[in-house]
Amino acid sequence: MQITYQFRLYPTPKQEQLMIRTLRLCQKLYNRAKEQRDTAYTQEGKTVTYAMQQDELPAFKKEFPEYKAVHSQVLQDCLRRLDDAYQRFFRGEAGFPHYKSADRTLSFTYPQPGAVAQTFAHEGSVYLSKIGWVRMHAHRPFDRANVTQINVKRYADGWMANIGVKLAAVEAGQSVDAAVGIDVGLRTFAALSDETKVDNPQHLRRAEKRLRRAQRRLSRKQRGSCNRQKAKRKVAKIHQKVARQRNDFLHKQSYRIVMKHDLIAVEQLKVKNMLRNRRLSKSIADAGWRKFMTYLSYKAERQGKRFVQVPAHGTSQTCICGADVPKTLAIRLHECKRCGWVQDRDIVSAKVILQRALKISA
């Protein structure tokens, strides 16, 4: 398995200029490669592949010498991103790829960072080819011998290094002494089968007032002015803080659940389809269910725990005894006429999820 560590970078002014130039050149290469693909298909009916564009990079760098200032594998990764965008479109997972503006090109990647002695020889710094040794605040230890890639990303408040590290797989244990079922929701973020609930912090809802004011100020600024750039950064910082608050909450809750239980059972939700609901889409996106499932999955794998997803159909409309108990979203109490069980509907759903997971595990 692979895990990503995020560390803050502190480049010098000269290094920051080189990093910004790398982003701009990657943006232009992405757009030129996309234009080549679209032109070849519309005018000649031919398909241009990633391998064909990669083979043309040496001649392209001779024609445009400024690209010699960017590492070759960074340029290859830029072309690979474009190819992935087209592949997702052909599979029906995303829309047709668009040209990238300067505001949408925010990161570049070294897919093979090189030898450990070269990349992390100096304590507290990382070597980025064509840029140099950049100071890095590594606030937690990581296995430098198994680094697979380094992604450098520009945020509203500075630069970050996302370092991918390959970890040895831990075999999941067979014990289910401490098992838990989790039912995610909007009023309550999560209800556990041990009858505990986790409140929904609603980070975006709490920041909407500040965000509304900042966006209103941004709309008044003249396009192309320095004041508009400042106002845009303020809006970006608010969004960034909300995202970090959400990630911090999800990491802490998933870690707490994984460390307490041997088996974690959740519903197999299709969040992408649920986001089509116009009335609930903002609340669903603010809750971060998909990220929560991802964090539970990789944390359980890392700790040697078992993570099980069960079909979501009927978990909120079924009793543990097997009887059907149909309920609308307005009904928050589960009342079974067959066994007489009366309890909060979210807790009952979590118990049903755990019951199904134990059957699957058996």
196-254 confidence digits (pLDDT tens): 999 999 999 999 999 999 999 999 999 989 999 999 999 999 999 999 999 999 999 99
Amino acid at 199: D
Beta bridge partners of 342: 335
Q: Which range among 8-17, 94-103, 241-250 shows the weakest confidence by mean pLDDT?
A: 94-103
Whole-number Cα distances in Å, 128 to 26, 78, 113: 16, 16, 8
The CA-CA-CA angle for residues 83, 88, 93, to 5°, reads 165
How much is the pLDDT for 116? 42
Domain 179-201+242-361, CATH: 3.30.420
pLDDT at 117 over 60: no
Q: Which two tokens stand for residue 63?
A: 């024609």
Q: Which two tokens stand for residue 139?
A: 């606030």
Q: Domain locations in the chain? A: 2-166, 179-201+242-361
**How does pLDDT run across 260-271, given as a tens digit for each residue?**
999 999 999 888
Instruction: Supply 351's token pair.
Output: 């118990």
Residue 333 forms beta bridges with which residues?
344
The answer to whether 243 and 207 are in contact (CB under 8 A) is: no
